[in-house]
Amino acid sequence: MPSPACGETTVLRREAHPAVAPAVIFRRRTLADREEVLGRIMLAPALIYVIVLVAAPLLLAVLLSFSASFSGSLEFRWIGLRNFATIIRDPQFHLALRNTTLFTIISQILVMILAVTAAHVLDAAFLGRRVVRFLLLLPWAVPVSLAAMAWTWIFDSTFSVINWTLKVAGLLDGWFYWFGDPTLAMIAIITVHVWRMFPFATVIVLAGMTAVPQDIREAAVIDGASFWRRLFQVQLPLLLPIVTVAVLFGVVFTSTDLGVVWLLTRGGPYNSTHVLPTLAFQRGILGANLGEGASIAIFLLPVLLVAAVGMLRVARRTEVGT
């Protein structure tokens, strides 16, 4: 490497510390001094990993959806839109699409109501607040497959504690076969999704609330704004960006979740609770029809695109704000 010309860094050093500068100038310039090169080298491993193992497979998923591909052989035959034609005529797929939308929308509405309320509760000073916060976070921290098993047991058709309690309270005449009835099974699945997602949303909203300047809230109180006005005209608008982030995360995590439905119902009873991920798993992995599985999973892509665009927008808006 040629000996040091007046690089950016050396100039900066001389200005900053004129007395020391000459000694520094004669130190050999190494790779480590060329910041933009060093930056790229340091970024490369992560970037390559992400491109090779996220971006490329994502593209492969799209390609597979246009092909007749089966696990067990590595054959790849282009068949155009035939997979899509098959699934679009399939009532099972329609049901899965409807279920995914329904699960996601209902559970996200419930999650956001619970999360904003819980965040307000946790924001108030009260005894044992730290303990409550700790306990509220447990559902999010626990492995979803294990939590789903606990819920499966809670909703067990013979031993369900919920049934027992409702019976004793005199609220239930007959019997709830939680996973034997499509509507009840959906209620169970939504319950578990809400249970799992609301702690995470609460934490995000809480972080957003602490970021809202205290003096704005106080000013609203002093100006005599009522509780509801404060909530709807001061708090919520300021919280909007962060709530948007929480909702986008929630939508992505819920609509693409495979574990909860798979472990609770396996898509049953009579395939009535399938969502896109479980159907894709059933057809693509268990049924070995990778092409068809991929074309089902592809329908999750628009959700992701909307989420990504939404996130970028929020990021840009907060950038302008600061």
Partner 1 sequence: MRRRRVLRVVKRILVYGAALLFTVFAIFPFYWMLLTSFKTNRDLYVGATDLGHIPWIFNEAPTLQHVRLLFFGTPYLVWVRNTVLIGAAVVLITLVCAVPAGYSLARLTGRWGERLGIGIFLTYLVPSTLLFIPFARVIALLGLQNTPWALILIYPTFTIPFCTWLLMGFFRSIPRDIEEQGMIDGYSRWGVIRVIVLPLAVSGILTAVIFAFTLVLQEFVYALTFISSVGKMTVSLGVPVALVRGDVFYWGSLMAAALITSVPIAVVYNLFIDRFIAGLTAGAVKG
Residue among 95 and 197 whose Cβ is closer to partner 1: 197
Preceding omega of 269 cis (within 30 degrees of 0): yes
Residue 255: Cβ-neighbour burial (10 angstroms; 0-12, 13-18, 19+): buried
Structure tokens at 274: 């399938």
> To the nearest whole angstrom, how small is the minimum distance from the Cβ of residue 31 to partner 1?
8
- C-alpha distances (whole Å) from 109 to each of 114, 185, 186, 194 are 9, 19, 15, 9
Residue 87: Cβ-neighbour burial (10 angstroms; 0-12, 13-18, 19+): buried
Tell me how many degrees the CA angle 251-51-287 measures, rounded to the nearest 5: 60
3 state SS of 257: coil
CA distance 98 to 96: 5
> To the nearest whole angstrom, how small is the minimum distance from the Cβ of residue 214 to partner 1?
17
Residue among 81 and 150 whose Cβ is closer to partner 1: 150
Residue among 20 and 219 whose Cβ is closer to partner 1: 20
Residue among 153 and 232 whose Cβ is closer to partner 1: 153
Residue among 190 and 297 whose Cβ is closer to partner 1: 297
> To the nearest whole angstrom, how small is the minimum distance from the Cβ of residue 150 to partner 1?
4
> To the nearest whole angstrom, how small is the minimum distance from the Cβ of residue 217 to partner 1?
16
> To the nearest whole angstrom, how small is the minimum distance from the Cβ of residue 286 to partner 1?
10
CA distance 188 to 266: 13
> To the nearest whole angstrom, how small is the minimum distance from the Cβ of residue 307 to partner 1?
6
Residue among 91 and 128 whose Cβ is closer to partner 1: 128
CA distance 262 to 252: 17
> To the nearest whole angstrom, how small is the minimum distance from the Cβ of residue 186 to partner 1?
19
Pairs from 69-78 (Cβ < 8 Å, separation ≥ 24): 69/289, 69/290, 69/291, 69/294, 70/288, 70/289, 70/290, 70/291, 71/285, 71/288, 71/290, 72/288
> To the nearest whole angstrom, how small is the minimum distance from the Cβ of residue 15 to partner 1?
10
Residue among 39 and 237 whose Cβ is closer to partner 1: 39
CA distance 244 to 251: 10
Residue among 117 and 233 whose Cβ is closer to partner 1: 117
CA atoms within 13 A on the CB side of 265: 27
